[in-house]
Amino acid sequence: MSEAEEIEMVDISWEQFHKDCRILAKKLIEVGTFKKMVAVTRGGLFPAGIIARELEIRDIDTICIASYDEYAHGSLVQIKPSVIEGDGEGVLIVDDLVDSGKTLEFIRKKYPKAHYATVYAKEKGLRFVDTYVSMMNCWVLFPWEGVMQPAKPLISGRK
């Protein structure tokens, strides 16, 4: 039996998150205008509200993607019908973080012309995001998550 690995963790405050969302909004202004914003639930709801205000976007919707088994990272399924029309042209898709990139890859296959923005990005998922603020190759604890208390222990080497 192996010991639990130390996981580097960054605790993001509300103040820092808001600041980073405003930086992302400024980057998105340089990209162009968007006719619609779609937040990837659940994490994308938080930056979408801030970015929509900064970009004066009022047409905001959600796309709900889930895996069958979050712990085993099973197949992804769309659990709410999308309101995105066509190939996604003119649509801004927002999430808090791109990790492995599987969620954004899934969405990108359906809407290849949408613009994908995340506040934070991990190297593994970087190729699926068009605009982001900071690289975070660690565990990110968002302000809405409170204290890290995973339902299952994060232990490597166990089967």
Catalytic residues: 95-96, 99
Give the separation between CA 126 and CA 101, rounded to whole angstroms: 7
User: 35: Cβ–Cβ under 8 A, 6 or more apart, which residues?
Assistant: 59, 90, 91
Query: Which of 56, 63, 122 lies closest to 94, judged by CA?
Result: 63
Largest Cα–Cα distance of the chain, in whole Å?
Answer: 54
**Token pair in block for residue 98:** 């791109």
The half-sphere exposure of 73 on its side-chain side, counting CA atoms within 13 A, is: 5
Query: Which of 135, 132, 130 lies closest to 111, judged by CA?
Result: 130
**Token pair in block for residue 146:** 């409170």
**Token pair in block for residue 95:** 């999430």
Query: Which of 133, 51, 136, 135 lies closest to 92, judged by CA?
Result: 51
